[in-house]
Amino acid sequence: MADIVVASLTDRAAFLEDWQVLYARADYPSFFHTPAWMKSWLDGAPEAARLKHICLREGGTPVLMGAFSVAPRKPPMLGLQESWFHEFGDVERDAVYAEYVDFLAAPEAAHELRRDAVCAMIEEIGTADGFVFRNLTDDMTSAVFSAAAICEMSGRVLNEQPVYGCELTGDGFMEKLSSSLQSKIGRALRLYEERGALTARLAQTDAEKAAAWDRLKTLHNTGWEARGKRGVFDNPHLTAFHERLRKNAPDACHLFEVKAGDEVIAVLYNFVHGRHVMNYQSGLKFEDDNRLTPGFVAHALAAQYYQEKGFEVYDLLAGEADYKSRLGEPHAIFTSLVLERPTWRNRLRGLLKR
């Protein structure tokens, strides 16, 4: 096994400094690897969080890094103890929902190094019943299952989610859509234009961004409450995380507003990373007239906008949804899984679930 150090993550400043160094030379890091994302995440850790970091260095320079938490047994004594990769094991805080999850790694960090790092993580927490990994890339999924075989643990897939994206190469995004979807969006556009000119633009000034952020939260929560469910922005930990992220990475957090006349019908919260745009959250004004499709309209206009600006992908991120499968094409699968030790607690849980 490679010489990998696993230790308590007590010096966050030093960890983030190393992370910044490795990020600058990493092999295709995602937005969810950016120093701004990691700092925003760490700053939201519970006071009692048991955080660990994994690091492999060569010549003093980090070539692979990651972080994980050790959650307390739930319930105490009899409950399972789980370790969570790049999460806290806290439902409210983990609602920030990172995607494209993997170690941050230099180009020379091969599959075997990821596998050995997962093994080191498992060996570090010998009392844990399970190790939870969510939204893994294919490379990371393969490494985790390889580590499970070495450490004689079972791997249980929790779910697999397709990731849809809109390719923005060429011209005329709208023209690439199916004829039925073009008709659907075209009809909605005409109906909205009866209320006034349809405009789609990014919030630019601090005042515009603050107003758009408030409208995003209001529209999102109102839409979900109408369906009898809780909107994500009712979660104070999630809202605080994104306020930190917008402060730490202001140029990478876009608020894209669509208006019909003076009325805001949609606000999209997007992340920008290189030539890649990711739609993370939305606030839409739903109405009784089902010919009005604010989601299709907003995403189509956003994809068209980013295409004209020279971006390559408008990523709709994980999950099945009609608008995702009709606007985009599947380009990845995220796997969430748990590795389980053959402890009596896991055996008991298995018996109870039969």
Question: What's the pTM?
Answer: 0.94
Range of the domain at 154: 5-162+334-352
How does pLDDT run across 187-246, given as a tens digit for each residue? 999 999 999 999 999 999 999 999 999 999 999 999 999 888 899 999 999 999 999 999
Q: Do 187 and 277 belong to one domain? A: yes
Tell the burial category of 293 from Cβ atoms under 10 Å away from its Cβ (0-12, 13-18, 19+).
buried
Residues 157 and 280 in one domain: no
Same structural domain, 157 and 184: no
Residues 324, 315: Cα–Cα separation, whole Å: 9
Mapped onto helix, strand or coil, the DSSP state of residue 109 is coil
Residue 25 has pLDDT above 70, yes or no: yes
What domain count does the chain have? 2
CATH of the domain at 119: 3.40.630.30
pLDDT value at residue 316: 98
pLDDT confidence of residue 342: 83
Per-residue confidence at 3, pLDDT binned at 50, 70, 90?
confident
In a domain, 325, yes or no: no
Predicted confidence (pLDDT) at residue 180 exceeds the cutoff of 70 = yes
> Is 323 among the domain residues?
no
Is residue 2 scored above 70 in pLDDT? Answer: no
By DSSP bridging, strand 104-105 and strand 82-85 are: unpaired
pLDDT at 351 (0 to 100): 66
Same domain flag for 346 and 271: no
Q: Report the range of poorest mean pLDDT among 2-6, 180-184, 348-352.
A: 348-352
Half-sphere exposure of 115 (CA within 13 A, CB side): 13
Query: Does 4 score more than 80 pLDDT?
Result: yes
